Structure 1
Amino acid sequence: MSRLRVAVVGGGRNAEHEVSLASAAAVVAALDPDRYRPVPLTIGRDGCWYDPTDHRASAPIGFPAALDLLQRVDVVIPAVHGRHGEDGSLAALCELVGVPYAGSGVAAGAVGLDKHATKLLAAAAGVATAPGEVLERTTAESRIRSFDGGPVVVKPVSAGSSVGVSAAATAQEFASALTTAFAVDERVLIEPYVSAREIDVAVLRRADGQVIIPPPLEIVVDGVFDYETKYGGEARFIVPAPLENGEQAALERAALLAYDAIGCAGIARLDFFVTPDGVLLNEINTTPGFTPHSQVPRMFAAAGVGYPALVDLVITEALASHPAVSNAGRR
């Protein structure tokens, strides 16, 4: 039986480039060589497409060549986190090419990366969220002058991997936090600091409608879960998260409501605060980090699904979710 050709796209023209490279490399390494033929592709920081298996030169292969490769594979696993990838861009490319792909579609990717839009849709579906204020660069100076103390958390509206996130309690810290966030995005979200447990929930809705929610994961960290804490080894992950009676059910219910409100497909990770008054949705990740040490694979491992099996599941569901797509005209 011929091997399935699996394109894995990593990198990206955004601040999450390195994280995306790690996710893509892990997926490629986990592909069973007897069943799959990996076709790795990298989007450089400059936006050019590269073939990372071509060691003869570092020159880009060009978008037409990358498009030709995508047209000749059986399925695509987009592993580009953040803008120009997770935001629906890669899903749109796969839709235009007519190739099955893993994960959420164009609309869900775009909404999911926009933290403010996510809050609005989640709230409309009955999921509580932390209050937030959107600030644009043109009004930043006046907002700094009116800052009446914190603590608050400042984050880019459209970015993941905790890039550009920082806390502020004074006007000076607030100004610095805005500078950091505006270096990543043109819009910034300001939220009151929530002193609560941080719990992640993974949701996978299969093509047949079956929903899989592995044990939730708790993030234990001193302060804000920013980029340095997330990838510097300072955070501690506990899975299964120790939860009181009813807390896990409340988390799963809120996660599924938000997942469906955004219109997600495949695997998504939903991040929550658990407070004495209930659960609050923090954000959603439609293309979550995907190394064996990332939160989602850890949660599935706790459910008995190891990393290679999880990659198999992702591919199986991508193919099942796009049954009308034929490779006949693309080979």
Structure 2
Amino acid sequence: MKKKIAIIMGGYSSEYMISLKSGNVVHKYLNSEKYIGYRIHILKDKWVYVDENTQEHPVNRHDFSVSLKSDTLRFDCVFNAIHGTPGEDGLLQAYFSLIDIPQTSCDYYQSALTFNKRDLLSVLKPYGIQSATSYYLNEGDTIRLEEIVEKVGLPCFVKANKAGSSFGISKVYEKDKLLDAIEKAYKEDDEIIIESFLDGIEVSVGVIKYKGKTKVLPITEIVTENDFFDYEAKYEGKSKEITPARISKAQEEKVSEVAKRAYDLLKMTGYSRSEFIFVGDEPFMLEMNTTPGLTEQSILPQQAGVAGISLSQLFESAIEEALNQNP
């Protein structure tokens, strides 16, 4: 019998439109011989199943079921395609764990940890995984511009600590522009991370569980027309994503080893896509995404394609991994 798969998409953050695109791609490429996919929109004002006629049916949040005219729809597994909260920060992972429904992304602790850039980098640092010099701010803190510049230098990056798709990020060249950048970041999160500028090749490394084994995908080099890999560069064609990356064998081996080590150290499952910048041959980690973009143009599907893994195979593997963990 075919498994019923709830493809959750949307979310509560600025990334919800991107998530809807990812979720629809999962629905499109899901292996129809094994699975029946159901599009579930999880939005701030409603949780609904959207059927093939675009009619909406409310989701019962008590047990994640859907009442239809002739039946009650219950799911065998959840495919998580939500970028940002509540799908990438551990909230939904904990919810599905409590009601005992398998889901394709990592567990709630790993989700919460990786979503918090400051905490992630702090946890990995003792294991030799390097990151940029950083300065932290929480909303309401006194802003000491001289202290910030003294620690991280200029130019620097001001980022929302818990946000994706480059929302709330600015590259700052002058001290008197810092306040505007901080205000922009606070619109996305009440925590900020300010990082020193690393001048080098930027790469993205996908690590997944595939057929029961941890697999590092071909590395992608990020070349942007803009000053950095911002929202416009990511989603509006202002960048080139080159897979495999034009890096040396030594760089490739080093960053692959670091990305896999981070994945294994954190006891990850599902997909991850980690961003690095090389300083010489040494990779410095920027962040790890645990529900990365899944459109045909997104980086992880590009990497899977170069590795000979189709979208259908990529999605099927994630579902089977989730089902095997919760037989």
What is the TM-score normalised by the length of structure 2? 0.91
Q: Could you tell me which residue of structure 2 aligns to residue 279 of structure 1? A: 283
State the match for 2:161 in structure 1. 157
Aligned mate of 1:185, from 179, 186, 189:
189
Q: Which residue in 2 is equivalent to 1:294?
A: 298
Partner residue of 2:126?
124
Structure 2 spans left out of the alignment, 5+ residues: 67-71
Match of 1:86 in 2: 88
| Number of aligned positions between the proteins | 318
181-190 vs 253-262, which moves further: 253-262
Shift of 1:19: 1.0
1:155–1:165 Cα contact (<8 Å) kept: yes
Moved more, 183-192 or 276-285: 276-285
Question: Unpaired runs of 5+ in structure 1?
Answer: 324-331
1:104–1:172 distance in 2 versus 1, CA, 3 Å: same
Displacement of 1:106: 0.4
CA RMSD in angstroms, aligned pairs only = 2.1
Deviation at 1:309, TM superposition (A): 1.7
Mapped pair 1:228 → 2:229: no
Q: Percent same amino acid at aligned positions?
A: 28
* Partner residue in 2 for 1:74: 76
User: 1:103 is paired with a residue of what secondary structure?
Assistant: coil
Work out whether 1:250 is the aligned partner of 2:254. Answer: yes
Structure 2 equivalent of residue 97 of structure 1:
99
Kept in 1: contact 2:145–2:175 (CA 8 A): yes
Give secondary structure in 2 for the equivalent of 1:139: coil
- Give the TM-score of the pair, scaled to structure 1: 0.90
1:47/1:259 Cα in 2 relative to 1: closer, same or farther (>3 Å)?
A: farther
* Residues 6-32 of structure 1, C-alpha deviations (whole Å, 9 max, x = no match): 110000111111111111111011113
Instruction: Give the C-alpha shift of residue 321 in structure 1.
Output: 2.3
2:220 paired residue number: 217
Q: Structure 1 residues 190, 106: closer, same or farther in 2, change over 3 A?
A: same
Structure 2 partner of 1:12: 11
* Deviation of 1:245 (Å): 2.5
Check the 8 A contact 1:122/1:258 in 2, yes or no. Answer: yes
Question: Does the CA contact (< 8 Å) of 1:133 and 1:190 recur in 2?
Answer: yes
Match in the other structure for 1:306: 310
Q: 1:82 and 1:166 mapped to 2: Cα distance? A: 19
Matched, 1:61 2:58: yes
Greater Cα shift, 166-175 or 246-255:
166-175
Q: Secondary structure at the match of 1:246?
A: helix
How many Å separate the matches in 2 of 1:147 and 1:211? 39
Please tell me whether the aligned partners of residues 121 and 262 of structure 1 are also in contact (alpha carbons under 8 angstroms): no
Structure 1's 313 and 248: CA in aligned 2 closer, same or farther, altered over 3 A?
same
- Counterparts in 2 of 1:146 and 1:123: CA distance versus 1, 3 Å: closer
Report SS of the residue matched to 1:291.
coil
Does the 8 Å CA contact 2:159/2:185 hold for their aligned counterparts?
Answer: yes
Structure (1/2) with the larger strand percentage: 2
